[in-house]
Structure 1
């Protein structure tokens, strides 16, 4: 089934399911950052003693990764029980629900059966007509909107304003709606208009303050053992709790905005009358009167958060590619799948290469890229933000690019890889052929093995580098390529470092 955004199928199906979904829910929409926000919020709530269900899409390695309880993937047994209930009802009613609608209802059934205290739900696409918006008004504690930018225009509208109106459609009457930091000023105007028309309460997130890094250590991409760049020290003030000081382990300046929205959500849970009423129903009064969520539990939750595949560093053993190099590959993994997230990636690469101490005589960067076919978004728009920084030859930097396809995600037949030849042509449009070496997987034939072949080519190039030179691999583009990388990583872990 292709994408057809509507609630006409899922509403009657959801109303037929027993038991009905009743969990207090935090609902998060946005173009970029919603996964990070759900991860941070869930981590803080867990550190505060709540049992937490979390639903994110798409999954990375397996479908079970999209449904978590207390940060653990749902068990196959629990998933299959809930899925059988949902699929059985779909067949009985003849609703012909989409794969994502079935998955959404499966997640809600899992959380209801487990009786989680709070569920944190990420919108799949858009907001107003997204399957997750089937959750009833009574269940919603807070709705939140992360950064909005152009993406999925075919389904959501051609302007930032129209996309915002769609995403803000998760707002609920009488409930708080929180807006995160935005690049486009039009977002706040459009979102507030939607929230006001629904009768919700509109708030803008409070900023976090970045504290100076204490005892800044030397950073090297080639260090053994490798230590990722330091986290981001922050301070946050709220009338709901004493000032919080913590170190955010997520990388990138954009994560400070995601943290700010997350902490504003937590603050709102403690201060807004509708949230206070819902929380009082969860636990005895002596537990919910501000005694569970404290500055200490917030700090603990912040510092424990993890969100793989978004500016995540990994060391890939050289045995994966027959040991051609002297050292393991340092791989920065990021699902930069649209222009806005690619700009974030470009900024972060500039930040970390500027942190290298001592300055290396030469830096070798290899990009491993795969993209989803998602018109009207083009490969040129997605790749330009980080590749254009290499459009002028730099004698201290060498650039290599490997382009390939990814494994099609299960149950999503509409997701297609951009042909490697198209990505290759785009790369050479951005960077002069004289300044970049490109390896391309075939457009046709088996996808299995393409990532390993790309990494073999990558390592062969790095084997020619001098010892004192720094090397970085950036694997980016579609999250489905990131999923292939994590599957390979798990395969290495199981086999002791050899594929």
Structure 2
């Protein structure tokens, strides 16, 4: 494997000079959030948010068919390139790690950002969506951009943005303008490296204006069945779309594991542009979860061994024992392994301060809201659910439902469960339900509704969700499942709490699992803010 990393040196002369800072472990906690709730937006950003809301917002309305494909139906990447040119191409002023994938790109980006920060580098991170404020999408050194910094930049480039919108006949979208602002802010903040998450697919995503000259590495975490219509209708077309972020001569780290023919599509694209491939699920396959521990002041963690081996002789390059990950589940171990592989790739390109200890610190101090997140005792009391165990997880695909199910089966096999679920209309509701019901036996499932992007256009009615769960249960022969509806998220939480509390025959207080979308998670967390 050492030979593999040395090979990267021969194809890259990228050097990233650190701007050293004193960074405490506490300051490494990722503050990145996950969804949009306009009622909790920072009032100082009223003009900025109003400007964005005047533009087409596909998160709110849904993405057109084929929009993410590299075809005549795809988004016009040319208009994004023209916008960046008018902004004087700020994204060329620093190195970039570009991250795409159906699932895991947010966690992998957070792990990687914190590893780099632990090594003393100045790091920007662009992600989507968000929970309480749009400023959470653009972070510098682990902190969301301040309202004053964002406003200063917005007002300075607003004439350029208005000119661009006019010259593009109003076709520039909410996401495209925000992406341009993020790239500009990272230049202004003089970051060493930016970790950039693709929004949809890869090839035609607004973030895909990055060139080989400043791309440190591409990362593709997973390929799964999400945004099927927008990305061509098949796993193969999704893989083709996401492979569009692979650039000539630049290494690509694949998370995985992938179906063999899907991996073949990604490798074929890499070979066509002379890009070396690192398969994290292969060289990190000796990594393992040792058990769940409860750390004082932190809460539940999974103790893991992170082992990255040489591809040729299986000798370890990195061996980190007893790494305490704050995000649970085997999928989060895989995301940590993927981020570690990217870190080693960057180390070989000149990031010498990405030491093994920096990797450990970065991994251990990463968390994301809504990813295997347990509410604290104080938080459940705030929600009038004293003594309850409440797990928030934004799973919303068949694959992420499987990851959630496996985590619960492994770590909480005896827990009584009640699910509270809200989903977007463009998700596969039946497959999601079947995945959870095939391995778990909840005492009840409560179907509810949550706004998406600040509106109800993409929300699914609770009655329709209930029909999907009943259908899934019937197909699995699970006749004992109790399914009910409640129009509000808080009302659903209280009903779940009552169901568990009313059973006095069990010493197990049970667990309420809030899932189905990042937006229902947002609704719960926003309630805590209020």
Tell me, yes or no, if the aligned pair for 1:29 and 1:123 is still in contact at 8 Å.
yes
The answer to whether the aligner puts 1:298 opposite 2:359 as a matched pair is yes
The answer to whether the aligner puts 1:454 opposite 2:492 as a matched pair is yes
Of 404, 408, 424 in structure 1, the residue corresponding to residue 452 of structure 2 is: 408
The answer to whether the aligner puts 1:315 opposite 2:376 as a matched pair is yes
Q: Judging changes above 3 Å, is the alpha-carbon distance between structure 1 residues 56 and 225 closer, same or farther for their aligned structure 2 residues?
A: closer
2:306 aligned residue: 234
Of 366, 385, 394 in structure 1, the residue corresponding to residue 418 of structure 2 is: 366
Q: CA deviation at 1:240?
A: 10
Structure 2: distance between partners of 1:398 and 1:192: 41
Structure 1: distance between partners of 2:89 and 2:429: 45
2:507 aligned residue: 468
Question: What is the SS of the residue equivalent to 2:510?
Answer: strand
2:30 aligned residue: none
Structure 1: distance between partners of 2:456 and 2:157: 22
Tell me, yes or no, if the aligned pair for 1:11 and 1:134 is still in contact at 8 Å.
yes
Q: Judging changes above 3 Å, is the alpha-carbon distance between structure 1 residues 341 and 212 closer, same or farther for their aligned structure 2 residues?
A: closer
2:402 aligned residue: 343
Q: Judging changes above 3 Å, is the alpha-carbon distance between structure 1 residues 197 and 86 closer, same or farther for their aligned structure 2 residues?
A: farther
CA displacement, residues 449-489 of structure 1 (integer Å, 9 cap, x when unaligned): x1111112122223213361231011101111111122123
Of 78, 81, 106 in structure 2, the residue corresponding to residue 11 of structure 1 is: 81
Structure 2: distance between partners of 1:488 and 1:23: 38
Structure 2 residues not aligned, in runs of 5+ = 1-55, 68-74
Question: What is the SS of the residue equivalent to 2:77?
Answer: coil
Tell me, yes or no, if the aligned pair for 2:301 and 2:327 is still in contact at 8 Å.
no
Question: What is the SS of the residue equivalent to 1:144?
Answer: strand
2:269 aligned residue: 194
Q: Give me the TM-score of the superposition, normalised by structure 2.
A: 0.78
Structure 1 residues not aligned, in runs of 5+ = 277-287, 357-362, 391-396, 443-449, 492-499
Q: Judging changes above 3 Å, is the alpha-carbon distance between structure 1 residues 266 and 62 closer, same or farther for their aligned structure 2 residues?
A: same
Question: What is the SS of the residue equivalent to 2:483?
Answer: strand
Question: What is the SS of the residue equivalent to 2:153?
Answer: helix
Structure 1: distance between partners of 2:289 and 2:469: 37
Tell me, yes or no, if the aligned pair for 1:232 and 1:250 is still in contact at 8 Å.
no
* Number of residue pairs the alignment of both structures matches: 443
Structure 2: distance between partners of 1:244 and 1:350: 26
Q: CA deviation at 1:243?
A: 3.3
> How do residues 45-444 of structure 1 correspond to structure 2 at under 5 angstroms?
45-93=116-164, 94=166, 95=168, 96=170, 97-205=172-280, 206-210=283-287, 213=290, 227-228=299-300, 230-237=302-309, 243-245=319-321, 246-271=323-348, 275-276=349-350, 290=352, 292-315=353-376, 317=379, 319-320=381-382, 322=384, 327-354=386-413, 363-374=415-426, 377-390=427-440, 399-410=443-454, 416-431=458-473, 435-442=480-487
Tell me, yes or no, if the aligned pair for 2:289 and 2:302 is still in contact at 8 Å.
no
Q: CA deviation at 1:312?
A: 1.6
The structure showing larger relative contact order (alpha-carbon pairs under 8 Å, at least 6 residues apart) is 2
Question: What is the SS of the residue equivalent to 1:368?
Answer: strand
Q: Judging changes above 3 Å, is the alpha-carbon distance between structure 1 residues 173 and 92 closer, same or farther for their aligned structure 2 residues?
A: same
Structure 2: distance between partners of 1:398 and 1:37: 30
Q: CA deviation at 1:194?
A: 1.3
Q: Give me the TM-score of the superposition, normalised by structure 1.
A: 0.82
Of 439, 452, 477 in structure 1, the residue corresponding to residue 516 of structure 2 is: 477
Q: CA deviation at 1:202?
A: 2.5
Q: Relative to structure 2, which stretch is displaced further, 78-87 or 187-196?
A: 78-87
Q: Judging changes above 3 Å, is the alpha-carbon distance between structure 1 residues 260 and 346 closer, same or farther for their aligned structure 2 residues?
A: same
Tell me, yes or no, if the aligned pair for 1:39 and 1:305 is still in contact at 8 Å.
yes
Q: Judging changes above 3 Å, is the alpha-carbon distance between structure 1 residues 69 and 415 closer, same or farther for their aligned structure 2 residues?
A: farther
Structure 1: distance between partners of 2:206 and 2:456: 17
Q: Judging changes above 3 Å, is the alpha-carbon distance between structure 1 residues 305 and 320 closer, same or farther for their aligned structure 2 residues?
A: closer
- Aligned-residue CA RMSD (Å): 2.7
Tell me, yes or no, if the aligned pair for 1:241 and 1:295 is still in contact at 8 Å.
no
Structure 2: distance between partners of 1:101 and 1:348: 36
